[in-house]
Amino acid sequence: MQSTEESELTVKQQQFIAALIAGHTIIVAAKVAGISERTAHNWLNQPAFKRVYEAAKQAIFDEELNGLRESKKLIREMLLKHINAEIEVTHTSQLQAAKLLLDHYVVAGEIAELNEKMDAIQGKLKALGVEL
């Protein structure tokens, strides 16, 4: 369901946000949406547009984080099957399962740490009067 602000965006604004979220630069995203780079920057400076864009980025981030959490559960189950010998166990498969599990824990921890740092930076910027 779209928010009121999101539904008030033009098709080109929605395309621009989608291109940015897909990882394109502002210049490429502007071309994808069929707008000038100047228009792109103007939109990014509009509070309502910025809120929708930030909400979209957060939604993607949350979705990816949930995917990591779900993967962690599956890897843990796979590792337990190895531990309980429900499937053929080799030293290599045990090490691979453990490494995958640990890698996911590390990534999730790094994401959480980066999120905390970003929140702290945003708080400091707001305290300095910088509009986000």
More reliable by pLDDT, 78 or 22 = 22
In a domain, 50, yes or no: no
In terms of domains, do 23 and 85 share one?
Answer: no
What tens digit of pLDDT does each residue of 47-92 get?
999 999 989 888 888 887 777 777 777 777 777 776 776 667 677 8
Q: What is the pLDDT of residue 78?
A: 73
Domain count along the chain: 2
Residues 29 and 67 in one domain: no
Q: Are residue 62 and residue 119 in the same domain, yes or no?
A: yes
Same domain, 62 and 121: yes
- Could you tell me which residue, 99 or 36, shows the higher pLDDT? 36
> Quick check: is 35 in a domain?
yes
- Residue 19, domain member (yes or no): yes
- Report how far residue 106's alpha carbon sits from residue 115's, in angstroms, rounded to the nearest whole number: 14
Which residues span the domain enclosing 112?
A: 58-132
> What's the pTM value of the predicted model, to 2 decimals?
0.52
Query: Looking at the domain assignment, is residue 20 inside a domain?
Result: yes
CA atoms within 13 A on the CB side of 29: 22
Q: Which helix (H) or strand (E) holds 104?
A: helix 91-127
Report if residue 53 sits inside a domain: no
Contact 52, 46 (CB under 8 A): no
